[in-house]
Amino acid sequence: MVLTIKTDSPYQVVIENGVLDRVGKIAAKNKRPGAKAMVVSETNVFPLYGERLKTSLAAAGFEVFAFVFPAGEPSKQISTVCEIYRALAENGFTRSDFIVTLGGGVTGDMGGFAAATFLRGISFLQVPTTLLAQVDASVGGKTGVDLPFGKNLVGAFHQPMAVAADPQTLTTLSERYFRDGMGEVIKYACISDRDLFQKLESGTALENLEELTGRCVACKKTFVEEDTRDTGSRMILNFGHTFGHALEKLHGFQGISHGEAVGIGMILAAQAGERMGVTAPGTTEKLRGVLEKYRLPTEDGFSHEEIIRATALDKKTMGDTLNFILLEEIGKSRICPIPLEKLPSLLP
């Protein structure tokens, strides 16, 4: 399956079993032979797939280097990006060269940010190896790192030159990290794909991972093409993320995964929507049932007051108003501006 994302610089998302071994050929459509490629990866993924990727790139005529950082969200910080800059500079990378990110959302966000900012911007190619990255994080051009007081607070919009998603890499994911990706899959079903939600309810959604990934990417493609820089309709992709990011911050970016936090955030958003009369009654319980079916948490130990305080630096805040993403019903969503002072009354 191939989808074209029509941004200022259009690029293809290739979703195909075995595409990992064709990354070199995909890169060759965009870069001349002899260009340098820096594989940015982490300590869990690189031992599994790093050599295959390097072999594919070398066979296409690229000079290949690698930078491998300690796996996990705590590495997603500016200091790690500075180490990537050092590796690029020491190996003589120029604007003719490129980065290849191999891993999950942390790798793609951070490697993409390094590409966006090194020499004021070099190319990069995404090779996502987690469900979360394949269905969501690798597409759309959002790159960035965390700060101690908030998630993804430093970043840049920088579209990849291509995305190569190989569903076969998902076979090496732990059960927890597969579930992590299901948080984003469920989000897509909630905001714009009622049929997918029904497949999730019935348990048939995972029968074809290529199709599942393609449905989610097709949904994201629509929002990204409408609103490349996330100032309008693309905000809908952040359903569950306002409270989800707050939970990740409260947990110190450890102990709760992104998909788990987003799942809880979706429940809180659905509850708020029902209290406001925007969300159809019973939607929260439908959503809770699907999250529980895929063994994702639906509540957390932090109080609603603590969660609301932790949303202070949410990027959807405009002055004293938060652009909150609410469901009208499963498969239909909208942006609702809410005064910050009103948030506590929505989550008693």
Q: What is the CATH number of the domain that holds 123?
A: 3.40.50.1970
Using 50, 70 and 90 to split pLDDT, how confident is the model at 245? Answer: very high
Predicted local distance difference test score (pLDDT) of residue 64 = 98
Predicted local distance difference test score (pLDDT) of residue 341 = 85
- The span from the CA of 324 to the CA of 135, in Å, is 22
Sign of the torsion formed by the C-alpha atoms of 172, 72, 144 and 94: negative
Predicted local distance difference test score (pLDDT) of residue 314 = 67
Do 235 and 310 share a domain, yes or no? yes
**Mean pLDDT in residue range 47-65:** 98
Predicted local distance difference test score (pLDDT) of residue 342 = 87
Do 244 and 331 share a domain, yes or no? yes
Do 253 and 342 share a domain, yes or no? yes
Instruction: Report which of 183, 179, 206, 224 is spatially closest to residue 13, judged by C-alpha positions.
Output: 224
Cβ-count burial of 335 within 10 angstroms (0-12 exposed, 13-18 middle, 19+ buried)? middle
Query: At 54, is the secondary structure helix, strand, or coil?
Result: helix
Predicted local distance difference test score (pLDDT) of residue 231 = 81
Q: 188-208: per-residue pLDDT in tens? A: 999 999 999 999 999 999 989
Using 50, 70 and 90 to split pLDDT, how confident is the model at 255? Answer: confident
Q: 221-242: per-residue pLDDT in tens? A: 999 998 888 888 899 999 999 9
Domain of residue 127, residue span: 2-172
- The span from the CA of 341 to the CA of 142, in Å, is 29
Predicted local distance difference test score (pLDDT) of residue 315 = 64
Predicted local distance difference test score (pLDDT) of residue 262 = 96
Range of lowest pLDDT (39-53, 120-134, 148-162, 278-292) = 148-162
Q: What percent of the chain has pLDDT over 90?
A: 83
**Measured CA distances, 270 to 86, 184, 240, 347 (Å):** 45, 15, 9, 10
Please count the structural domains in the chain. Answer: 2
Do 92 and 133 share a domain, yes or no? yes
Taking each continuous run of H as one helix and of E as one strand, the counts in the chain are: 13, 12
Residue 296 carries which side chain, given as an amino acid letter? Answer: L
- The span from the CA of 49 to the CA of 13, in Å, is 19
Q: Does the pLDDT at position 316 exceed 70?
A: no
Do 94 and 187 share a domain, yes or no? no
Do 125 and 42 share a domain, yes or no? yes
Where is the domain boundary, 172, 187, 205?
A: 172
Do 147 and 220 share a domain, yes or no? no
Within 10 A of 121 (CB to CB), how many other CB atoms are there?
Answer: 12
Do 127 and 235 share a domain, yes or no? no
Query: What's the mean pLDDT when you consider all of the chain?
Result: 94
For 123, phi then psi, to 5°, come to -75, 155
DSSP character at residue 232: S
Do 168 and 185 share a domain, yes or no? no
Where is the domain boundary, 121, 147, 172?
A: 172
Residues linked to residue 155 through DSSP beta bridges, in sequence order? 144
Do 160 and 213 share a domain, yes or no? no
Where is the domain boundary, 152, 172, 192?
A: 172
- The span from the CA of 174 to the CA of 158, in Å, is 30
Do 100 and 130 share a domain, yes or no? yes
Alpha helices in 136-208 (DSSP H): 175-192, 194-202
Using 50, 70 and 90 to split pLDDT, how confident is the model at 340? Answer: confident
Using 50, 70 and 90 to split pLDDT, how confident is the model at 137? Answer: very high
**Mean pLDDT in residue range 277-298:** 97
Do 102 and 160 share a domain, yes or no? yes
The two three-digit tokens of residue 191, written as one number: 């905001």
Q: Which residue has the higher pLDDT, 197 or 340?
A: 197
